[in-house]
Structure 1
Amino acid sequence: MLNFNAHLGFQFTEKPFLKRFEAAASAGFRAVEFPTPYDYEASLISELLNEHQLKMVQFAAPVGLTKGLAAATSRDSEFRTGLATAAEYASQLGCTQIHLMSGTRITGELSTDSQTYLGNLRYAVDYFADQGITCLIEVISATEMPGYYLCDFDLASPVLDAIPELGLIMDLYHAHLVTGDGLGVLKARIDRVKHIQVADWPGRHEPGTGDLKFAEVFKFLGDSGFEGWIGCEYRPLIATNEGLGWLNKWGVLPKSGLRSLEENSF
């Protein structure tokens, strides 16, 4: 069986953010993710994780106002200062994966380039090398995030080749938007994939609500022995708990009795 974690930026949004940890645990999740924890003291988030017996799967290094800084020209100092903050949070939250977002181009305010990106990623990998932390990158579709630097797998390939210590977040929704073949990309990159995120297309709702072939995706992951976490980074079509029935077939949730989505036949 596969291991799915809640995404607190997308799920349980019916509740205030700090109440979502309890909601995720009550639904049966054993792990969570969300991009930026820095609005709260690390000690507070750590207490919530411990109270509800949750693992923190991954989060992003500080992103500024530009959805990341790794590829931002002339912002090296800000990027590298942010790594120290991320390391502090990772230590307190027991998290071993940090997403290094590339950043978005903003005309007149921010430019991006490949050499800056590669140099900052190398620096980050070296910085975290003795802290047990894996650095992650993710291809994000320009449709969802206009101007995002790492918006194509052709851009990611030379970076992954140059820095073998880097891991890849494979967001299947973004992969479909970018290539039209999320499963094909997943199969081609599985050796570098450390974390997966799922949402169906169109709509970015629960798997089984759209056209993506998640039965094939999950079978491939099971057959390949994927042991990482799969983040539920989707917008619930209905209330979060009412839309979790698809996990009965594919997920590892210790709670039973989730409503089955009979109309989603996989």
Structure 2
Amino acid sequence: MPRFAANLSMMFNEHAFLDRFAAAAVCGFKGVEFLFPYEFPVDEVAGALHGAGLSQALFNLPPGDWAAGERGMACLPGREKELMDGVEKALRYAEALRCPTLHLMAGIPPADLPREQLEATYAANLAEVAKACAPLGITVVIEPINQRDMPGYFLSWQDQARRLIERSGAKNAKVQMDFYHCQIMEGDLTRRLQAQIDQVGHVQVAGVPDRHEPHDCEVNFPHLFAELDRLGYAGWVGCEYRPRGRTEDGLGWAAPYGIRGTGA
């Protein structure tokens, strides 16, 4: 049975951030993920997590100036020091949260930079970030993100992610396979999952096309969940979706997997 982690950046927004951990635990979630923890002191986040009896599945490394539209910097030449300073900061949180996986965002590059230069920069940075994370046993994942939601993002294709990981040579780097993004960009989800299951370090789900609950949409998620089990995937499945209403009211899709909500 898949292990579901509630994404607290999108789910349980009826509560203040630090209260979302307890709300997720009440509904039966055993793990959580979120985008960024950095606006909260590390001890407060760790206290909320461990106090709720939850595991931290994933969070993102610092992305640069998010408010100004930056979405990572791993592919951007000249940002290496800032990137590694962010890694140092993230590792303090990861150690306190006992988080096994960090997401390294690619970035949105200027249109005039050659793709080969961007890819070479990305692979080199991935290697350095993975090296810094290795002593703590942390896996670094990179995620193809669709061009509709994030125009200009450098990484959008599954085979591109696998190529970058191979080029980096990092043994603790894997693909973060978000079925929502993959369906929009490529489709053929079952075969793509089967082809790269050994390289998948984290999975995320959301309904397509509107990024709501993973049911009543164009993707057969029960089939994909069964396929994850059949393939022996033992990682977390992050629920990175925007609930249609109250989070608890939309958890009926997850009832077969031990998650308790108040409706479908």
Counterpart Cα distance in 1 of 2:131 and 2:187: 34
Determine whether 1:126 maps to 2:120: no
Counterpart Cα distance in 1 of 2:172 and 2:10: 29
Other structure's SS at 1:244 match: helix
Write out per-residue CA displacement over residues 178-213 of structure 1, whole angstroms, 9 at most, x where no aligned residue. 102222221211111111110111211111121101
- Counterpart residue number, 1:190: 197
Q: Which has the higher helix share?
A: 2
Other structure's SS at 2:252 match: coil
The amino acid of 1:28's aligned partner reads G
How far residue 122 of structure 1 moved from its aligned partner, in angstroms, is: 0.6
The correspondence for 1:84, drawn from 81, 88, 94, is: 88
Contact 1:173 1:182 in 2 (8 A): no
How much identity, in percent, do the aligned residues show? 37
Other structure's SS at 2:64 match: coil
TM-score calculated relative to the size of structure 1: 0.91
Other structure's SS at 1:56 match: strand
Which stretch has the larger CA shift, 174-183 or 155-164? 155-164
Counterpart Cα distance in 1 of 2:8 and 2:244: 15
The correspondence for 1:69, drawn from 66, 73, 77, is: 73
Write out per-residue CA displacement over residues 115-143 of structure 1, whole angstroms, 9 at most, x where no aligned residue. 11011001111111211111111100111
- Counterpart residue number, 1:248: 255
Determine whether 1:14 maps to 2:14: yes
TM-score calculated relative to the size of structure 2: 0.91
In structure 2, the gaps of 5 or more residues are: none
Write out per-residue CA displacement over residues 217-265 of structure 1, whole angstroms, 9 at most, x where no aligned residue. 011111122111111111112211011011112x243xx5x4463xxxx
C-alpha RMSD over aligned residues: 1.8
What does residue range 127-146 of structure 1 map to in structure 2 within 5 Å? 127-146=132-151
The amino acid of 1:138's aligned partner reads E
The runs of 4+ residues in structure 1 deviating greater than 6 Å are none
What does residue range 40-189 of structure 1 map to in structure 2 within 5 Å? 40-65=40-65, 66-106=70-110, 113-162=118-167, 163=169, 164-189=171-196
Which stretch has the larger CA shift, 175-184 or 4-13? 175-184
Contact 1:197 1:232 in 2 (8 A): yes
How many residues align? The count is: 256
The correspondence for 1:235, drawn from 204, 222, 242, is: 242
In structure 1, the gaps of 5 or more residues are: 262-266
How far residue 25 of structure 1 moved from its aligned partner, in angstroms, is: 1.1
Contact 2:75 2:109 in 1 (8 A): no
Write out per-residue CA displacement over residues 131-182 of structure 1, whole angstroms, 9 at most, x where no aligned residue. 1111111100111111111112232121122334311111000000110222
